[in-house]
Chains A and B, each alone.
Chain A
Amino acid sequence: MSASKARHTESSDPHWIEWISGISSCALVGAMIGWIAWQAITANDEPPQLSTTITQVRKSGSTFRVEFDIVNSAPVTAAGVTVMGEIIDATAAVETAEVTFDYVPAQSKSRGALLFSTDPAGRDLRVRPSGYTEP
């Protein structure tokens, strides 16, 4: 217990391992700073670039589950991203469904699903992002 009350004096004759870990830490932090600085310099004011791809349509019980990936290829995060799905028969939308993502981070991917009661097979299925806010 006395250890917690006393003042420490660092040894003035350090083991070589302290220097190795110290120097490699400096290198690591330096590399990290370099990477982020590079990103900061090359970043532009691009708005979020959102695109969706349908990965799977599956029937579960009486609903049809349309799974999709949403990718944000811009270096800016989008928040409150709404994705709308429509099943279109001939010209009119038979059914629409909507889902909201809290975040789609910069240059990242999120997964989601829309649930329909109409079978999308043989009809036109459209899934697209319909809006976002800045975080």
Chain B
Amino acid sequence: MSEKAASAEDWREERNRFLAGLLRGGAGALIFGLPMMMTMELWALGFTIAPIRLLISAIATIPLLFVLAQRMGFERTFTWREALRDAIIAYAIGILASAALLVLLGILKLAMPADEWVGKIAIQAIPASIGAMLGRSQLGAEKGSEEDEPDDDGENAGDQVTTSYPTELFMMAVGALFLSLNVAPTEEIILISYKMTQWHTLITIFVSITLMHGFVYALAFRGGHELSPDTPQWHAFVRFTMPGYVVAILISLYVLWVFGRLDDTAWTQILMTTIVLALPASIGAAAARLIL
């Protein structure tokens, strides 16, 4: 009798935890997705974007969420099956949240063709689903920590942790993607690159790299990175900051390509627009190393 009650209690607790995870996901989708849902250029992109680019970015979101899920997830995920499940759940939350908000804001109307509905939702679902995934881990961090702590500390005793190199680069890519998605669709990005001279661009490169390095190593933020005393400073610069900047550049290029900002444009102009977008992207990448 008491055993039965205990298992029912367990089940209820399990269910509540899962529901809380879903709600946190929804909250995350809203926090991270709203700025983009209220961006005019993204509504238009829903039907002006080349279908193949939309397809590629929609498919690319799945592995991205999958790897994110392996690192954080709605539940504590260990197997790839659970990670995949969490990725799909996050994507679904992103899609539902985008659809609901776009209908609420009067951007999606019944009279619109199905193409337009799908296009508009599919674009918004990308940032919203990343938001859903991050929402679970970041919003739930305070309360979840005491229950997560015990076996996490197994090998990383104390508060020192090391992250694998590919994971570090991946996290930078997520941060870069996130911030660049916020600004890339607006006309301002290309307008800024038209206003800037090549000299402005050169300085922007140096500023981006300096900010990236400073964010992670110089300023003592919580979650910041330290070097062991015998490692010279330039080691971290070459091993982490420079590849991080290249990741930011590549993500910027990808986002600009998806949004059709590079078509019929000269190489120099493409490079300049990319460097403008890489400024927020590199800050996003640096922030991701601190937060995630």
List chain A positions with a Cβ less than 8 A from chain B: 1-12, 14-15, 17-19, 21-23, 25-26, 28-29, 32-33, 35-37, 39-40, 43, 75, 77, 79, 102-103, 105-111, 135
Contact = CB atoms under 8 A, between A and B. Distances in A.
Contacts of A109: 264
Contact of A43 (B141, B198, B243, B265): B198
Interface of B: 137-138, 141, 144-145, 148-149, 152-153, 156, 158-163, 165, 169, 187, 190-191, 194-195, 197-199, 201-202, 205, 209, 222-228, 230-231, 235-236, 238-240, 242-243, 245-246, 249, 264-266, 268-269, 271-272, 275, 291-292
Nearest to B245: A29
A20 B271 CA distance: 24
Contact of A36 (B137, B141, B161, B268): B268
B contact face: mostly helix, strand, loop, or mixed: helix
Contacts of B153: 2
Given A21-B243, A22-B242, A108 B269 contact: yes
Nearest to A106: B269
10 contacts: A2-B149, A4-B223, A5-B141, A6-B159, A12-B230, A26-B238, A43-B197, A102-B187, A103-B194, A108-B266
B160 A6 contact: yes
Given A2-B149, A37-B198, A109-B264, A7 B163 contact: no
Contact of B238 (A1, A19, A37, A135): A19
Nearest to A111: B264
A19 B163 contact: no
A79 B194 contact: yes
A21 B120 CA distance: 37
Contacts of A110: 264
Q: Which among A22, A29, A77 has the highest number of chain B CB atoms within 10 Å?
A: A22
